[in-house]
Amino acid sequence: MKIGVLALQGAVTEHMRSIEAAGGEAVAVKLTEQLEDLDGIIIPGGESTTIGKLMRKYGFIEALQQFSKQGKPLFGTCAGLIVLAKQIEGQEETHLGIMDITVARNAFGRQRESFETDLPVKGIDEPIRAVFIRAPLIKEAAPGVDVLSTYNGEIVTARQGHLLACSYHPELTDDYRLHAYFLNMAQEAAAAAGK
């Protein structure tokens, strides 16, 4: 499986390392033309407003919406989760607007309120190590969105068909099981598309 990492901002190298540890082929994506060859793409953390501006500048909004319409998996981590969301609290404009969730930016507070925890995730046997840095939260998930994990009663991992999103940074640990879960989603989507 060839998995892209949107290389506009964020921990691109770390995501690529996790994809390869999980048995996939990782590609840093800087041009929309690269999307054609991919089985899935990760939108990493960073600053969601900046990522949104860069995506608009380089034509990624329409290109990734088309990618999603083809049923190809997208995985948004931290700010990437905000980029996928159909609604952002206190904000009129969304970015990709493809996942039926409402998110709150910086819901866990500032940088100094960052923390790590062991998080049980539905579909993964043992809890994974999750690093929360100025993390957003999924405030609401529509029917059809599968909640995969919560922290203190708040949704922090969710899946809707070919879309996966989490509030934290799975790439900042040596635990690549969430990337393996995403690779599995890409394999399922490729099989469904007759690849």
- Whole-angstrom Cα distance, residue 71 to residue 53? 24
Is 171 catalytic? The answer is yes
Active-site residue, from 78, 95, 162, 166: 78
Is 14 catalytic? The answer is no
CB 187 within 8 A of CB 22: no
> DSSP 3-state assignment of 184?
helix
Beta-strand pair 163-166/154-160: antiparallel
Active-site residue, from 162, 166, 171, 179: 171
Apex 113 CA angle, 109 and 115, nearest 5: 120
Active-site residue, from 15, 95, 162, 169: 169
CB 4 within 8 A of CB 40: yes
Is 169 catalytic? The answer is yes
Dihedral pair phi/psi, residue 46, rounded to 5°: 140, -140
Residues known to be catalytic:
78, 169, 171
